Amino acid sequence: MTSTIAPFQDVAGWERSLYAFLAEKERRSGSRRTVEGYSHMLQHFFGALGKLPDRVTSQEVFAWAYGKGLSGKEPSPVTIGARLACLSSFYRFLIRMEIVASNPCDQIQRPKTSLSPPRGLSAQEIRRLLSVIPDTPVGLRDRAIILTLTLTGRRRSEVLNLKAGDISQTGGLFYTYRGKGGKQSKRELPRPAFEAIRTALAAFGKDLATIRPDESLWPSKADNGRGLTSGSFYCSLRRYLKRAGLPPAGVHILRHSAAKLRRDVGESVEDVSRFLDHSSLAVTTVYLRRLEGQEDRGWGKVAEAIGL
């Protein structure tokens, strides 16, 4: 496909468009991990192909999406779908910016995927998980993160990116977070999570009232103010799960657990959907939600169920 809409004549121009796309993606998704994945795939595709975006054909996209990766293995339907989603998103951005005229991904059929159903931990399994975490500064910090994830239902990046200034004790106990799509929201912070955070900070010689507002709630041994990385917490969680005799899982299992526990204590599907900012039940419920600092009536029963 050859664009008729003022294509760049130099590689540097296309690189600028790529950086602009990634910057917008990070602002909208709030996930640095997603941006890094998109960057890696796009650079791999265009680097291996050796063509500028306005010269790419649908056949070349198909060959890359369905082709073997660096491992030499045939890609799974999930991998193929991820490649096409990434590249198509980039081309939609270029079309919006009036840089290219069409999307070479549009002619390619996406593979059917059969994802395994999400799994959440029960209240008993959460108790087992918490019981194996040591009472060390690192252990207390990780316990606070697990409690915050389980009681709030927030995504990994939404919790691990929390700073001291995101906690408010005016008129109640609240936390502010940047959700999916870059939308900023404010919710009640469950008291057990707040107390765990204070205990963890104290173990590192810190106090929520005196640390800088831009300092992470999750100190690391480096003590550089940036806090624990997502990858480090993932590795720690995997160790705790193994120690507790639970199946290996990623951090997202705690969000699934939050939803499962809410349902187990009697909340409606509609309440759980709103609690998670979820789109599976009613997308409009999420995007039209305007309440700031809304009261959270469910965390008390969940905390009681897991023995807090």
The number of folded domains in the chain is 2
Is 30 contained in some domain? yes
Contact, 112 vs 90, CB < 8 A? no
Q: Exposed, middle or buried, 64 (CB in 10 Å: 0-12/13-18/19+)?
A: buried
CATH for 78: 1.10.150
- Residues 129, 254: one domain? yes
Is 294 contained in some domain? yes
Per-residue confidence (pLDDT) for residue 115, from 0 to 100: 52
Is 265 contained in some domain? yes
Is 188 contained in some domain? yes
Per-residue confidence (pLDDT) for residue 274, from 0 to 100: 75
Per-residue confidence (pLDDT) for residue 59, from 0 to 100: 94
Per-residue confidence (pLDDT) for residue 89, from 0 to 100: 93
Q: Last residue of some domain: 53, 78, 96? A: 96
Q: Which of 290, 300, 293, 275 is closest to 171 using CA atoms?
A: 293
User: SS3 for 61?
Assistant: helix
Is 116 contained in some domain? no
CATH for 144: 1.10.443.10
Tokens of 14: 């296309």
Cα 14 to Cα 56: distance, rounded to the nearest angstrom: 13
Per-residue confidence (pLDDT) for residue 291, from 0 to 100: 26
Q: Tell me which residue range forms the domain holding 65.
A: 11-96
Cα 24 to Cα 2: distance, rounded to the nearest angstrom: 25
Residues of the chain with pLDDT under 50: 1-8, 280-293
- Residues 185, 128: one domain? yes
Per-residue confidence (pLDDT) for residue 224, from 0 to 100: 66
Q: At what angle do helices 253-264 and 137-152 cross, to 10 degrees?
A: 50
Cα 80 to Cα 65: distance, rounded to the nearest angstrom: 5
Cα 138 to Cα 218: distance, rounded to the nearest angstrom: 9
Is 86 contained in some domain? yes
Is 278 contained in some domain? yes
Q: What is the pTM of this model?
A: 0.64
Within the chain, residue ranges assigned H as helices are 11-29, 32-49, 58-65, 77-96, 123-131, 137-152, 156-160, 191-203, 230-243, 253-264, 269-275, 283-287, 299-305
Cα 250 to Cα 289: distance, rounded to the nearest angstrom: 29
Cα 159 to Cα 153: distance, rounded to the nearest angstrom: 9
Per-residue confidence (pLDDT) for residue 268, from 0 to 100: 72
